[in-house]
Amino acid sequence: MTHAGADDTLVAYSSMEDGELADYVSQIERDNPDLHIKVIRVSTAALHERILQEGDAGQWDIIFGWSLTKLLDPMIQTLLATFDSAQLDRLPREARDEGGKWFSPSAFVPAFCVNEARLKEKGLPVPRNWNELAESYYGGEIVLPDPAYSGAGFLHVTALNQKSGSAYVDSVFRRVANSRPRVVRSAFEPCSAVLNGEAAIGVTVSTAVCGLMNQGVDVRMVIPSDAAAFEPESFAIRAGSRHLSQAQRALDWTMSSAACETYGRYGKVVLKDIDIRSPEDGDPRFPAMTAINAAKANQDRDAMCSAWSRFFN
């Protein structure tokens, strides 16, 4: 996956999960034997801080999968190069920057990771949405990510607010908080808690759940019906990268058929050919979804995170 120290190595920043990253990078390097990619995986909020701290002195080459709401920060935009590829025409207009600074071939989906057997033992139903998750009988069985640190947490908060309104969200969060959920800072920690028998339900994203399912782990994925909205996943090149041609080839792969097939395996929405599709046509796990308004989410970030923290911190 990495060839550290090589002068021609592409340095990629990403907030994807490690297993998923390894899958993509191995395919890119297999199809492009002269490309070597070193991935530095950083959580969503920490990656934002890191890129801003490095500023023009940053030595990374590409953003390889990051929350679009974070990448839309005007300060981040000043650090990005224009990406020029004929494949961009395959993407819908809302999945690419008019100025060529970023594009989104795939999208994150909010999800619950559920240990169905544990719930059955306790005589509890599988929650289909946040309103049902707020039932008091789930006390001690919930792990959720803090939206101030986790892209997964912020996606759930954003989707709930944009689909159902702040009054609904406040009502639901007040009831969920009464169950004293465990609060963590990443998308995968809730899945780990479910996997380790520490909880029955982890609030996360579909990629984390599908990563476990792909390994044969017996968990169930639920897309909460009241938060069924996806966030485009951004890719970009750093202005000043010494490996522009290699970076463009690596990112071209992310719009290939092979890439789109892999996105589907990890439960992502695929954005291509002016068509917004769920990972598997007709799959009942994936309800009809629309994209969040990423620009509005970025504007409302502080207010939404503050409202969340009133209940859970």
Count of structural domains, the chain:
2
Q: Specify if 285 maps to a domain.
A: no
Assess if residue 282 is contained within a domain.
no
pLDDT computed for residue 144 by the predictor: 97
> Does 2 reside within a domain?
no
| Same domain (yes/no): 245, 299 | no
Q: Are residues 207 and 74 in the same domain?
A: no
Question: Residue 124 falls within a domain, yes or no?
Answer: yes
pLDDT digits (tens, 9 = 90+) for 149-183: 999 999 999 999 999 999 999 999 999 999 999 99
Q: What is the pLDDT of residue 279?
A: 52
Strand partners, 13: 40, 63
Residues 269 and 181 in one domain: no
> Is 283 contained in some domain?
no
**Is residue 47, in this structure, part of any structural domain at all?**
yes
Statement to judge: residues 167 and 302 lie in one domain: yes
Whether 103 is in a domain gets the answer yes
Residues ≥6 apart with Cβ < 8 Å to 73? 48, 52, 298
Same domain, 30 and 14: yes
Q: Report the CATH number that the domain containing residue 150 is assigned in CATH.
A: 3.40.190.10
Q: Within this chain, do residues 259 and 306 fall inside the same structural domain, yes or no?
A: no
The pLDDT score that the predictor gives to residue 94 is 86
Question: What pLDDT is recorded for position 277?
Answer: 52
Neighbours of 178 (CB within 10 A): 12
* Structural domain boundaries, residue 167: 110-228+290-312
Report which of 159, 42, 166 is spatially closest to residue 111, judged by C-alpha positions: 159
| Intervals of the chain under pLDDT 50 | 1-6, 274, 278, 280-281
Q: Specify whether 103 is located in the same domain as 183.
A: no
Q: Same domain, yes or no, for 18 and 96?
A: yes
CA 150/CA 90 separation, integer angstroms: 30
Query: 176 CB contacts (<8 Å, ≥6 apart)?
Result: 130, 133, 134, 142, 144, 311
Please tell me the predicted confidence (pLDDT) of residue 8.
Answer: 78
